[in-house]
Chains A and B, each alone.
Chain A
């Protein structure tokens, strides 16, 4: 659907050029919900703004539906943009127009007749749950409602892609959830490809199918969400993943654990079916180690179960080695954790 090829963006500055994107390449498949994740300043926002050329890249290609956007004329670009919807962190609604007027805006831009516009707006209002707010002005709406207007407006011209630039970052957790649910429903019912920029890991976890991790202006990792959660390769991704399943072990306990020369801490993660296997039982039987569970959680990564356990294994070197072998044999992802 969208191919990003060797994309780079350099901002000239007096104190030397700032490289916001450096040779970023990856593909966004049709119908996916693609998360782009990274710390602030990693280049996420620049990347998504390059996808509809709000920001003109310094080099590289952005191929949407077979056309390289960077080669289009102004006029061709304007019609290409009508097929790429976008929503924003601060909603960017027109204050002088009602909800219906805001949704009608892109339709007017595209030159539709008043009758067609009215009909299309009437279709979109219930889609985002704002039937009763058609005549309200943005200043009378809550943040979540404003973003719903933003979504309806972005969907008005039946785009192929929806770009979300930190679309939930200005919303409270409950509203965030409802907006994410709406986006997921739209993805499913309309088959719309969605690109989501976020620094919130749970957004990725809740609705994304794929994720690209940006760090220092480069794409350091891109894969399906399940892969990245189960075996993050880059340091940033590891931090993000451990951040969401954070096990804060009290310091006294860690110090005590450290004093056991025959013990080690391991993090065991599993996806899907393994969650229901009697893993601990098998571990003890096969290796004779003593196991204490320090932390455990089972969560959903989209609709797949994703479990995380922090275990202390006590026993001889031989027993602990067998324990590792057993865990790996169960298709679990095992990582030694250092005491820190």
Chain B
């Protein structure tokens, strides 16, 4: 392998890796900013929970289901006018973050919901019996008790988002997926294809390993 080959490969990979990292980080953060409160709302408004409001749960649940049923590639194209409204353009890496968030936030809401529902009802009742307010129950009971499960959920979300970013090329978002299509597929550069996939595999492994490790250290239950 010549130095020239490595240099050209790095030249292709480096911007793609950075674009992917940027899209994943930005959309993961934004989808938690939106999805975490929604997930909490889904749980606390459910029947028999601390702030029962069946219509809130039902309405929110329906909206989330609708967003989750649209295939990402369709969602991305359908959201072009919305993206332009939010950030002023519909082309580019930042523009790709908007549909990524729209797709990932409902997913986050469901993942958070299932984590919070694992907490035994008795623990919540104990907090109520001590005079805790709904807000205190959320941040002193629900979130800390579900911490380990929430971390695992975050790892799943990030891995999902990494998968979605492969389609970002459709709106000129770049990233590793786009590189694989443009070079690996359209220009028959099998080597680029393989390296790109390898980098993605490393990303996914790293996220999952880190997530599992953090989850275990947050867990105080013997298994």
Which residues does A use to contact B, with CB under 8 Å? 52, 54, 77-82, 84-86, 88, 90, 92-97, 105-106, 108-110, 137-140, 153, 157, 163
Contacts and interface: CB of A to CB of B under 8 A. Distances in A.
Interface in B24-55: none
5 contacts: A78-B132, A81-B130, A94-B141, A110-B131, A138-B220
Nearest to A90: B122
Nearest to B146: A96
Contact of B128 (A54, A138, A157): A54
A78 B133 contact: yes
A81 B221 contact: no
B147 interface: yes
Contacts, number: 70
B62 interface: no
Nearest to A150: B126
B123 interface: yes
B126 A92 contact: yes
Contact of B125 (A79, A85, A92): A92
Interface string B123-150: 1011111111100100011001101000
Contact of A54 (B129, B133, B221): B129
Interface of B: 120, 122-123, 125-133, 136, 140-141, 144-145, 147, 218, 220-222
Contacts of B140: 105, 108-109
A249 B2 CA distance: 98
Contacts of B147: 96
Contact of A95 (B129, B131, B145): B145
A81 B129 CA distance: 6
Contacts of A84: 129
B145 A94 contact: yes
Contacts of B220: 95-96, 137-139
A155 to B, nearest CB: 11
A92 B123 contact: yes
Contacts of B145: 94-96
Nearest to B128: A54
Given A86-B126, A90-B122, A94-B141, A78 B221 contact: no
Given A88-B122, A109-B136, A139-B220, A94 B129 contact: no
A92 B120 contact: yes
Contacts of B125: 54, 88, 92
Contacts of A52: 129
Given A92-B122, A92-B123, A97 B144 contact: yes
Contact of B131 (A82, A88, A93): A82
- 5 smallest CB-CB distances across A and B, nearest first, come from A92-B126, A81-B131, A137-B220, A92-B122, A78-B131
Contacts of B129: 52, 54, 81, 84-86, 163
Contacts of A78: 131-133
A139 B220 CA distance: 7
Given A92-B125, A94-B141, 14 more contacts: A78-B133, A81-B129, A82-B130, A84-B129, A88-B125, A92-B120, A95-B221, A106-B130, A109-B127, A109-B130, A109-B131, A138-B220, A139-B221, A163-B129
Most buried by B among A82, A85, A86, A109: A109
Contacts of A139: 220-222
Nearest to B130: A106
A120 B141 CA distance: 21
B127 A93 contact: no
A185 to B, nearest CB: 22
A261 B125 CA distance: 61
B144 A94 contact: yes
Nearest to A78: B131
A54 B123 CA distance: 13
A94 B123 CA distance: 7
Contacts of A140: 222
A77 B140 CA distance: 19
Most buried by B among A79, A88, A157: A88
A84 B131 CA distance: 9
Contacts of B218: 96
A85 B145 CA distance: 22
Most buried by A among B125, B129, B218: B129
A38 B220 CA distance: 37
A95 B146 CA distance: 10
Contacts of B133: 78
A79 B131 contact: yes
A157 B130 CA distance: 9
A105 B127 contact: yes
A139 to B, nearest CB: 5
B136 to A, nearest CB: 6
A150 B5 CA distance: 67
Nearest to B133: A78
Contacts of A109: 127, 130-132, 136, 140
Nearest to A89: B122
A9 B27 CA distance: 49
Most buried by A among B123, B144, B147: B123
B123 A81 contact: no
Contacts of A138: 220
A88 B123 CA distance: 10
